[in-house]
Amino acid sequence: MEIIPAIDIIEGRCVRLTRGDFSKKIVYSDNPISVAKEWESKGVDRIHIVDLDGAKSGRPVNRDIILKIIESVNVPVQIGGGIRSLDSIADYINGGARKVILGSIVFEDEYILKEAISRYQENIIVSLDVKEEKIFIHGWLKETEFNYIEIGKNLRDTGVKEFIYTNIKRDGTLESPDIDGLKRFIDSVGVPTIASGGICKIEDIKRVKEAGAVGAIIGKALYEGKISLEEAIKYAH
């Protein structure tokens, strides 16, 4: 299983939110490039970057700093947040992103999803942001009627080859991940899935791995020293 540290960006700075609430923002660094280099030096498998301004506005906002981060490290980087057009997908892939994470647009524009899979299937990850089994979009501000397992099966059949599962209620809380929801999804859909949200101790890494996840995204627990990256990698591999 891969260990994937998260770098969430608002106004060019590395931050963390609690349950996606923009009013509960903690700034951890004014230099996300140095943060990415630090994570790389610890031996991580890939880096997860989210343009939170982009997620809220519906278009890439922190593109320039994100492309600089990609240039500054040699590990694979996956990018999400406000990527809602084929041009934005192509821009990040051409800029060196290994994976592009699609969220809101997946549930609003079937054409873009199908074209993205047709052109860049191996580079596409779909993010499922879940609360009480329903998908949330637009920076977690808008609820949809989609059940996360049913839509996961539909997306699998459309050609999606990788998912990120996030329980919104756990994200940024340091309350441990939603193992039951994660395992139900993996067992039902059968597509490689990365766990995200609430991972705060080594035991969580073990449980996520046992649930069948191919990766674990870790955010606040790293920034606040709750988890050692070296130890997490040891238990994950």
171 flagged as catalytic = no
Distance CA 17, CA 8 (A): 9
Q: Is the Cβ–Cβ distance between 100 and 93 less than 8 Å?
A: yes
8 flagged as catalytic = yes
Q: Which of 51, 53, 129, 178 is catalytic?
A: 129
Residues 6+ apart with CB under 8 A from 123: 89, 93, 97, 98, 99, 100
Q: Sketch out the chain's domains with CATH numbers.
A: 2-236 (3.20.20.70)
Tens of pLDDT, residue by residue over 28-79, are 899 999 999 999 999 999 999 999 999 888 899 999 999 999 999 999 999 9
Q: What is the mean pLDDT of residues 202-221?
A: 95
Distance CA 104, CA 139 (A): 8
Pick 198 or 87 by higher pLDDT: 87
Q: Which of 8, 53, 171, 204 is catalytic?
A: 8
Phi first, then psi, for residue 75 (nearest 5°) are -90, 155
Tens of pLDDT, residue by residue over 88-125, are 999 999 999 999 999 999 999 999 999 999 999 999 99
